[in-house]
Structure 1
Amino acid sequence: MQLTLDIPEKFFAYQTPKELIRLLKLNTAIDLYRRGKLSAGAAAEFVGDLDRYEFLYECRQHGIEPQTYDNVEELQAEIDNIHAARC
């Protein structure tokens, strides 16, 4: 799927369109991860040029700690979601 945004040219004074696109994707992925909507792996895939560990590093740079699970059921649900996404 492709999404089109209309961004005024003045916002490209200090960055290229490619840099702004990456920044928007990274910040969106970090927010979705923080809210528990994406796993670290899915968020890294969303950004496109990061692996899971690089994404977690970016999260730390933004003050976001890695997600933890309160119980085994939450962890198992995450594992099941990952397996379902791969099939």
Structure 2
Amino acid sequence: MNDEILCIKVPEDIFITIGKKKLKKIMKLSTAIKLFKDGELSLGKAAELADVPKLEFMEILSKEGISVIDYLPSDLKKEINVLK
């Protein structure tokens, strides 16, 4: 798969304060989290966008209070009953 380059304008003072490398990392991670949370990207694709391993992305989501597994209460109850 080919990568695309996205160019955005950033105020110079923010660019200087944060730095190019850190700003790029933050923007990729924040975008990946948002798109995963909104159901726009799968876990694997979001981790790929964030440029981190899937397990690390899962840990990041957990720290952000975002569930990786999204069960409805009724579905969760069924799963628990199956395990009993």
Name the TM tier (shorter chain): 0.7 to 0.9
1:14 deviation in Å? 3.6
- Which consecutive unaligned segments of at least 5 residues does structure 2 have? 76-84
- Which consecutive unaligned segments of at least 5 residues does structure 1 have? 72-87
State the Cα RMSD in Å: 1.6
TM-score by length of 2: 0.72
SS at match of 2:18: coil
Residue pairs, 1:1-87, within 5 angstroms: 1-48=4-51, 50-68=52-70
1:68 deviation in Å? 2.7
Q: For 1:7-29, what per-residue CA distance to the aligned partner results, in whole angstroms no more than 9, with x for missing partners?
A: 01111344211110110110010
- How many matched pairs? 70
TM-score by length of 1: 0.70
Larger Rg: 2
Shift >3 Å, 4+ stretches: none
